[in-house]
């Protein structure tokens, strides 16, 4: 596939990032929904796309996304067009009510999900592999979901469940990314995430009174940066000492040298969520199994091309699905 050339009217990284979220449909495919009980008594909502199960795609969405996110619906529409099947994982607290996709379905345990969460993905991947042991599995993760996928691959270098994996717009270094988003347009992006995250934390504190001893809800509600929120909520809820401990232990950058599974990592140099000095570190540390495809432009999970606004094409969706299918 040729290199990415941005649409002439979307040369700005913020335009590339925001345009798909404003214009793409969040109902491009039809799902069959399944509620999967986790080993700790919670539930994971899986949304299945029917089709040829060779290969079967597993998709992991980003922060505060869901199976209805445009960064998941886009690849799913390509998967459907190619005739393949897929399963989109909804991280805990992220599944949407199909009748109102703006409404999240709360989970049943005093925890959420985070950038280093690999236990739930491991559980789903093993479950799907047991159901269809003769069909190859491939996985795709965007942003937070991609970071978790790369971390899992590094934690299990000799795994044989996935034939291949691909990621889009992974931040790689969570601490550097959080700091980078404190400048420029960063606070605008962060604020949109924190609006829903704060509501979820308030719900957890109300539903599980035992969390009041570890969560300072006032500090959560005052938070304006990812670091402040992760210090007050993410870290204590998930067993980290503080935000720095969470970032250090969960960043996928340190796991890249151990990956032995074929992986395609797609990033844009102008990604507003990614500090410019991170991608050279990725290129220098990643194992030979990791193919890093970097474009000068594309924003965060954007990569919009096309001749006119009403004829948009999404370069990364096509590239990733075809690459995974060819490596299955």
What the block records as the tokens of 78 is 């390509």
Cα–Cα distance list, 224 to 35, 175, 181, 218 (Å): 34, 15, 11, 12
Closest to 19 measured CA to CA, from 328, 312, 294 = 312
From the number of C-beta atoms within 10 Å of its C-beta (0-12, 13-18, 19+), residue 40 rates as: exposed
E-strand stretches of 260-299? 263-268, 290-295
Catalytic residue among 61, 114, 156, 300: 300
Is-catalytic flag, 35?
A: no
Catalytic residue among 143, 169, 223, 251: 143
Is-catalytic flag, 61?
A: no
What the block records as the tokens of 50 is 């029917």
Is-catalytic flag, 300?
A: yes
Query: Contact, 104 vs 113, CB < 8 A?
Result: no
Query: Contact, 178 vs 147, CB < 8 A?
Result: no
Catalytic residue among 120, 173, 230, 271: 271
Three-state secondary-structure class, residue 241: coil
What the block records as the tokens of 42 is 């919670």
Three-state secondary-structure class, residue 34: strand
Cα separation, 178 vs 147, whole angstroms: 14
Cα separation, 226 vs 61, whole angstroms: 18
Query: Which residues, 6+ apart, have CB-to-CB distance to 293 below 8 Å?
Result: 264, 265, 266, 267, 319
The number of CA neighbours under 13 Å toward the Cβ of 326 is 9
Active site residues: 143, 271, 300
């Amino acid at each position: 596939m040729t290199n990415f050339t941005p649409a002439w009217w979307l040369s700005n990284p913020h335009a590339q990032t925001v345009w798909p979220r404003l214009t793409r449909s969040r109902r491009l495919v039809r799902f069959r929904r399944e509620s999967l009980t986790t080993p700790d008594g919670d539930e994971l909502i899986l949304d299945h796309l029917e089709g040829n199960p060779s290969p079967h795609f597993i998709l992991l969405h980003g922060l505060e996304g869901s199976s209805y996110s445009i960064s998941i619906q886009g690849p799913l529409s390509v998967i459907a067009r190619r005739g393949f099947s897929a399963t989109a994982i909804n991280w805990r607290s992220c599944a949407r009510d199909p009748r109102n996709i703006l409404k999240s379905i709360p989970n049943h345990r005093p925890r959420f999900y985070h950038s280093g969460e690999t236990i739930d993905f491991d559980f789903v991947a093993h479950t799907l592999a047991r159901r269809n042991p003769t069909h190859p599995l491939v996985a795709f993760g965007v942003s937070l979901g991609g970071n978790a996928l790369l971390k899992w691959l590094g934690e299990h270098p000799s795994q044989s469940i996935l034939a291949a994996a691909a990621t889009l717009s992974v931040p790689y270094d969570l601490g550097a990314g959080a700091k980078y988003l404190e400048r420029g347009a960063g606070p605008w992006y962060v604020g949109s995430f924190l609006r829903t995250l704060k509501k979820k934390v308030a719900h957890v504190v109300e539903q599980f009174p035992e969390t009041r001893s570890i969560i300072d809800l006032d500090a959560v509600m005052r938070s304006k940066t990812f670091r402040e929120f992760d210090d007050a909520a993410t870290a204590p809820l998930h067993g980290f000492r503080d935000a720095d401990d969470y970032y250090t232990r969960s960043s996928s950058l340190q796991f890249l040298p151990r990956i032995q599974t074929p992986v395609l990592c797609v990033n844009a140099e102008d990604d507003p969520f990614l500090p410019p000095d991170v991608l050279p570190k990725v290129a220098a540390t990643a194992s030979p199994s990791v193919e890093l495809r970097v474009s000068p432009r594309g924003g965060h999970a954007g990569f919009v091309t096309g001749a006119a606004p009403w004829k948009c094409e999404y370069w990364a969706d096509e590239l990733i699905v075809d690459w995974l299918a060819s490596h299955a």
